[in-house]
């Protein structure tokens, strides 16, 4: 039970990566199913032995075509609730397996439902209990329908092996799911570490710049700022580099608390940071944010040293141009920062990119 709860927690931690994999899995499943169903459809049209199944194979082919179109759409548009979509799309296949194993052929042992219960959940990555309940529902539906429609002796034989095989299928799927969730979690951790600064947990220079370039390319206007901690070398010299590192960490937390989650904040290097405040085009509004940041900086406290009053200077460029260029706004903000530091530090200077 604890292991299942831990896996559910890990699914929440790497939700984005798991949903990406689910989109790819749905697309791969629907593509393979389309090829197989198309081949079966052709065989039903050509071979006399299969022509009595032409209608059922035709219905299957049409449904798989619909699934394929939906899968392509989900992958392209990055549908958020992809796991719910997958459960719904797989449900008719599971239901058809129940019908084939009971109502449609009550005189033969059930095979199709076991195959589907084993294979279909392999394409879904979700919290373990969700998948287990999904299997239990269709397994229970098979047992109920078999009781109503199957030949009593055949049903009795089915019930001798079905619980054993079902338990094996659920267990095997659970172990495979553990590996899949672990893989997604490890990938998420590695990707996070490669994109973030290890000291401050902000985006690193490469990742931050990439995000801003994407925003500029998409014509998302905002204000770009380069923020510098004034006289940071004096803090290192007076209190030591460990205290300096703590100041940088708390400065990063102050920036995250003052600005929004939609804003892009990253560490340029050393004691310099960069911020792209999305859709913030009023210099007075930005000045208020900067004043709040200054207040937070003045409250930085290192346990071994007490309060360390930190001042910051900032050079900002309000991006209004229709053809925004990262190099241009970076130079503009850097020049504004130089002006701010030369005019007494602890100040903010604005420029405009039109």
pLDDT at 2 over 70: no
pLDDT in tens, 253-276: 999 999 998 999 999 999 999 999
Domain boundaries, the chain: 2-195, 205-353
What are the contacts of 299-308 at 24+ separation with CB within 8 A? 300/247, 300/250, 300/251, 300/254, 301/250, 302/239, 302/243, 302/246, 302/247, 302/250, 304/239, 304/243, 305/239, 305/243, 308/235, 308/239, 308/243, 308/247
| Of 131 and 344, the one with more pLDDT | 131
What is the per-residue DSSP string for 212-279? HHHHHHTT--EEEEEEEETTHHHHHHHH-HHHHHHHHHHHHHHHHHHS-TTSEEEEEETTEEEEEEET
Q: Which CATH architecture has domain 205-353?
A: 2-Layer Sandwich (3.30)
pLDDT digits (tens, 9 = 90+) for 62-118: 999 999 999 999 998 888 899 999 999 999 999 999 998 899 888 888 888 889 999
Calpha distance 59→67 (Å, rounded): 12
352: β partners: 318
Q: According to the model, what pLDDT value does residue 347 have?
A: 86
Q: Please, are residues 342 and 313 in contact by the beta-carbon 8 Å criterion?
A: no
Q: Taking 70 as the threshold, does the pLDDT of residue 354 lie above it?
A: no
Question: How many angstroms separate the Cα of 244 from the Cα of each of 135, 223, 226, 237?
Answer: 55, 28, 19, 9
**Where does residue 219 fall: left (phi above 0), alpha (psi -120 to 50 degrees), or beta otherwise?**
left
């Amino acid at each position: 039970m604890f292991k299942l709860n831990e896996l559910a927690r890990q699914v929440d931690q790497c939700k984005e990566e798991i949903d990406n994999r689910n989109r790819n899995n749905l697309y791969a499943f629907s593509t393979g199913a389309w090829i197989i169903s198309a081949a079966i459809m052709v065989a039903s049209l050509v071979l006399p032995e299969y022509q009595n199944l032409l209608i059922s194979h035709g219905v299957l082919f049409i449904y798989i075509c619909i699934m394929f179109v939906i899968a392509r759409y989900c992958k392209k548009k990055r549908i958020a609730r992809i796991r719910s979509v997958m459960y719904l799309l797989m449900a008719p296949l599971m239901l058809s397996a129940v019908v084939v194993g009971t109502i449609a052929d009550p005189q033969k042992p059930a095979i199709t439902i076991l195959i589907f219960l084993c294979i279909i959940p392999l394409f879904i990555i979700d919290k373990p209990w969700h998948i287990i309940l999904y299997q239990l529902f269709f397994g229970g539906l098979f047992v109920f329908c078999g009781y109503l429609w199957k030949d009593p002796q055949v049903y009795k034989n089915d019930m001798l092996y079905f619980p054993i095989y079902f338990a094996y299928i659920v267990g095997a799927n659970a172990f495979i799911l553990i590996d899949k969730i672990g893989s997604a979690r490890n990938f998420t951790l590695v990707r996070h570490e490669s994109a973030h600064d290890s000291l401050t947990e902000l985006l690193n220079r490469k990742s931050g710049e990439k995000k801003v370039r994407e925003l500029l390319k998409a014509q998302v206007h905002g204000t770009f700022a380069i923020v510098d901690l004034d006289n940071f070398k004096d803090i290192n010299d007076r209190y030591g580099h460990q205290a300096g590192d703590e100041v940088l960490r708390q400065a990063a937390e102050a920036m995250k608390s003052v600005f929004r989650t939609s804003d892009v904040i990253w560490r340029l290097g050393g004691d310099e940071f960069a911020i792209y405040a999305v859709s913030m085009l009023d210099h007075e509004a930005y000045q208020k944010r900067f004043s709040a940041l200054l207040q937070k900086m003045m409250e930085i406290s290192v346990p071994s040293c007490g309060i360390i009053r930190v001042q910051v200077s900032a050079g900002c460029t309000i991006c209004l141009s229709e053809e925004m260029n990262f190099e241009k706004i970076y130079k503009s903000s850097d020049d504004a920062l130089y002006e701010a530091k030369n005019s007494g530090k602890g100040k903010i200077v604005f420029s405009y990119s039109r």
